[in-house]
């Protein structure tokens, strides 16, 4: 008699236009033995709404086949205490059967944006996604925001999450009990290039796995209730030159933004109303993007102001730390219903468009745009961001530059899927909407 041990499986994953990580598993032994191992994939999957219904308005029908081609440098594996098997995932590109890139692959989209940035400027993107999430079902006694008690009552969630991230190859940084009820935040150290988005995918799945094993359910949904504190994703970015220096930083200029950094920021601010269609891409996202929520609500570059949509972050110098090393800006109009690859790809494309046009630094504003009159806001370039997913999709569709960031088939797939998502949530009141998304994300 032989005792059956669970097979070690590797899951080849793609994080699609709905921001959901999907994939197929194969034996780790087969994966190791065949450098060209890949699994099948279906084009119409990219038209899947978060509600597991494929949008009728899709360029992809029942025909056609693709492959998920793993990037072996982007494998994140960890076996947590109490787990029956290891969580082992490899970020993969969606490719045609001959291995050439597929028009609607989010990861290929990001890689091509990064390639163009590198070719045209010699710069590499560095960055990290900062995630907020909530534990669902109020399993803990209430505790004050940011308190030690709020951290300890969730034990061992924090220590396990940081250990698991470290074991999976992410430089885990900080675990925070956040402002919202049962809300936590995890930050990780910066990565470069496509790994910035890969890390975001790995982090979400590792947190879900850790919570699952602790008997907890988590959600990254942008709002768990209309009046709840939002769960944001803040996308930190800087630019690295060929010598490894931070090319975003110039302490002599406004906002400490170098000329190229200012142009990169200006491109993002200019195209922000269109970009949010991809970075804050669910119907519920727009319950979060409101003034006075420390989220994002205007096309706004700010220096150390948490209401700004694009925030220049602080540069601590204590202990003799070099500010050039830590200097970065964070895009705050994002949440975890977005595909990290698609979201970051749009930001890089918009920043590169700003560099190509040599845009000057946008106005750097701190304060409350709601207290200004229209003329003052216009002078400062403060335009209210779209207030619904429908309006954001219109903004994307009518921004000739931003819509061209995506290949025509990719744009058609995205718009068709997102419009179907809006139709499928029709009739849900805000509370029901929040609950629906919190079940999925
Ligand atoms: N929870 C806020 C958001 O929705 C962010 C708060 C913070 O600055 O960390 O983005
Ligand atoms: Mg936070």
Closest ligand 1 atom to residue 288 Cα is 4
Query: CA-CA distances (angstroms) from residue 141 to 138, 153, 252?
Result: 7, 8, 49
Judgement on whether residues 58 and 136 belong to the same structural domain of the protein? no
Cβ distance 90 to 75 under 8 Å? yes
Domain contains 191: yes
What is the distance in A from the centroid of ligand 2 to the CA of 403? 30
Q: And the tokens for 106?
A: 């989010």
For ligand 1, atom 6, the nearest C-alpha belongs to 294
Q: Give the residue from 105, 127, 150 where a domain finishes.
A: 105
Measured from the alpha carbon of residue 131, the closest ligand is 2
Judgement on whether residues 218 and 324 belong to the same structural domain of the protein? yes
Q: Show the domain range for 306.
A: 109-440
**How much is the pLDDT for 316?**
86
**Measured distance CA(381)–CA(54) in Å, rounded:** 39
Domain contains 414: yes
Integer distance in angstroms from the first to the last C-alpha of the chain?
43
Judgement on whether residues 128 and 63 belong to the same structural domain of the protein? no
**How much is the pLDDT for 47?**
97
Kind of pairing between the strands at 310-312 and 124-135: unpaired
Q: And the tokens for 103?
A: 């028009």
Judgement on whether residues 60 and 149 belong to the same structural domain of the protein? no
Closest ligand 1 atom to residue 296 Cα is 10
Judgement on whether residues 117 and 87 belong to the same structural domain of the protein? no
**How much is the pLDDT for 419?**
98
What is the distance in A from the centroid of ligand 1 to the CA of 103? 34
**Ligand 1 pocket list (CB less than 6 A):** 132, 229-230, 232, 288, 294-295, 306, 332
Judgement on whether residues 236 and 155 belong to the same structural domain of the protein? yes
Which of 229, 233, 300, when mutated, tests ligand 1's pocket best, judged by the most ligand atoms within 8 Å of its CB? 229
Judgement on whether residues 260 and 318 belong to the same structural domain of the protein? yes
Domain contains 86: yes
Measured from the alpha carbon of residue 280, the closest ligand is 1
**How much is the pLDDT for 1?**
86
Tens of each residue's pLDDT in the chain, 441 residues:
889 999 999 999 999 999 999 999 999 999 999 999 999 999 999 999 999 999 999 999 889 999 999 999 999 999 999 999 999 999 999 999 999 999 999 999 999 999 999 999 999 999 999 999 999 998 999 999 999 999 999 999 999 999 999 999 999 889 999 999 999 999 999 999 999 999 999 999 999 999 999 999 999 999 999 999 999 999 999 999 999 999 999 999 999 999 999 999 999 999 999 999 999 999 999 999 999 999 999 999 999 989 999 999 999 899 999 999 999 999 999 999 999 999 999 999 999 999 999 999 999 999 999 999 999 999 999 999 999 999 999 999 999 999 999 999 999 999 999 999 999 999 999 999 999 999 999
What is the distance in A from the centroid of ligand 2 to the CA of 294? 9
Q: And the tokens for 208?
A: 């879900």
Report the helix count and the strand count for the chain, using DSSP H and E.
15, 14
Closest ligand 1 atom to residue 295 Cα is 10
Closest ligand 1 atom to residue 183 Cα is 1
DSSP, collapsed to helix, strand or coil, labels residue 65 as coil
**Number of neighbours of residue 124 by Cβ within 10 angstroms:** 17
Q: How many domains does the structure of the chain reveal?
A: 2
Peptide bond into 156 cis (omega under 30): yes
What is the distance in A from the centroid of ligand 1 to the CA of 307? 9
**How much is the pLDDT for 430?**
98
Kind of pairing between the strands at 66-78 and 191-192: unpaired
**Measured distance CA(351)–CA(235) in Å, rounded:** 13
Give 283's contacts (C-beta < 8 A, 6+ positions apart): 388, 389, 421, 422, 425, 433, 437
**How much is the pLDDT for 172?**
80
DSSP, collapsed to helix, strand or coil, labels residue 86 as coil
Domain contains 285: yes
Q: Give the residue from 105, 136, 157 where a domain finishes.
A: 105
What is the distance in A from the centroid of ligand 1 to the CA of 69? 35
Judgement on whether residues 235 and 274 belong to the same structural domain of the protein? yes
For ligand 1, atom 7, the nearest C-alpha belongs to 294
Domain contains 171: yes
**Measured distance CA(418)–CA(441) in Å, rounded:** 16
Judgement on whether residues 192 and 276 belong to the same structural domain of the protein? yes
Closest ligand 1 atom to residue 232 Cα is 10
| DSSP H or E stretch at residue 90 | strand 87-95
**DSSP-assigned states of every residue in 120-185:** HHS-EEEEEEEEEEEETT--S----TT-HHHHHTTTTHHHHHHHHHHHTT--EEEEEE-SSTTEEE
What is the distance in A from the centroid of ligand 1 to the CA of 226? 15
Q: Give the residue from 105, 125, 151 where a domain finishes.
A: 105
Domain contains 222: yes
What is the distance in A from the centroid of ligand 2 to the CA of 185? 6
Judgement on whether residues 175 and 324 belong to the same structural domain of the protein? yes
Judgement on whether residues 53 and 160 belong to the same structural domain of the protein? no
Q: What is the CATH number of the domain that holds 30?
A: 3.10.20.70
**Measured distance CA(76)–CA(87) in Å, rounded:** 8
Judgement on whether residues 21 and 81 belong to the same structural domain of the protein? yes
Query: CA-CA distances (angstroms) from residue 412 to 100, 105, 141, 348?
Result: 20, 13, 47, 21
**DSSP-assigned states of every residue in 293-352:** SSS--BS-EEES-TT-SEEEPP---GGG--HHHH--EEEEEE-TTS-HHHHHHHHHHHHH
Domain contains 4: no
Q: What is the CATH number of the domain that holds 272?
A: 3.30.590.10
Domain contains 2: no
Angle, alpha carbons 63-68-71 (nearest 5°)? 160
């Amino acid at each position: 008699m032989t005792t059956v041990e669970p097979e070690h499986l590797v899951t080849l994953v793609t994080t699609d236009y709905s921001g959901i990580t999907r994939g197929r598993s194969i034996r780790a032994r087969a994966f190791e033995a065949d450098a060209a191992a890949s699994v099948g994939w279906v084009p119409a999957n990219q038209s899947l709404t978060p509600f597991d219904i494929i949008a009728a308005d899709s360029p992809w029908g029942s025909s056609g086949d693709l492959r998920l081609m793993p990037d072996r440098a982007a494998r994140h594996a960890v076996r947590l205490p109490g787990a029956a098997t290891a969580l082992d995932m490899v970020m993969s590109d969606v490719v045609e059967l001959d291995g050439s890139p597929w028009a609607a692959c989010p990861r290929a989209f990001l890689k091509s944006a990064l390639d163009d940035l590198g070719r045209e400027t010699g710069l590499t993107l560095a960055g990290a996604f900062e995630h907020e999430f909530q534990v669902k079902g109020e399993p803990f006694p209430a505790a004050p925001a940011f308190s030690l008690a709020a951290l300890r009552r969730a034990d061992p969630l924090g220590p396990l999450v940081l250990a698991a991230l470290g074991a999976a190859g992410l430089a885990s940084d900080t675990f925070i009990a956040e402002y919202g009820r049962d809300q936590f935040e995890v930050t990780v150290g910066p990565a470069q290039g496509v790994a910035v988005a890969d890390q975001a995918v790995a982090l979400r799945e590792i947190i879900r796995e850790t919570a699952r094993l602790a008997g907890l359910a988590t959600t990254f949904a942008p709002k768990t209730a209309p009046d709840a504190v939002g769960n944001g994703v803040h996308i930190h970015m800087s630019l690295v030159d060929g010598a490894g220096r931070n090319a975003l930083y110039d302490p002599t200029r406004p906002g400490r933004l170098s000329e190229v950094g200012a142009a990169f920021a200006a491109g993002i601010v200019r195209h922000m109303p269109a970009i949010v269609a991809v970075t804050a891409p669910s119907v519920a996202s727009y319950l979060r993007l409101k003034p006075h929520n420390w989220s994002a609500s205007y096309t706004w570059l700010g220096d150390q102001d948490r209401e700004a949509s694009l925030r220049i972050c602080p540069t601590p110098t204590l202990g003799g730390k070099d500010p050039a090393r830590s200097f970065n800006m964070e895009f705050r109009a994002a949440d975890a219903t977005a595909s990290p690859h698609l979201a970051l790809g749009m930001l890089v494309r918009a920043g590169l468009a700003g560099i190509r046009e040599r845009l000057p630094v946008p106005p750097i504003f701190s304060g409350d745009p709601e207290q200004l009159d229209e003329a003052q806001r216009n002078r400062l370039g403060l335009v209210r961001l779209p207030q619904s997913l429908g309006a954001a999709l219109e903004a994307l569709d009518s921004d000739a530059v931003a819509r061209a960031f995506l290949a025509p088939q990719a744009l058609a797939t995205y718009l068709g899927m997102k419009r179907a998502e809006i139709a499928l949530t029709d009739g849900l009141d805000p509370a029901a909407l929040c609950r629906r998304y919190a079940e999925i994300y």
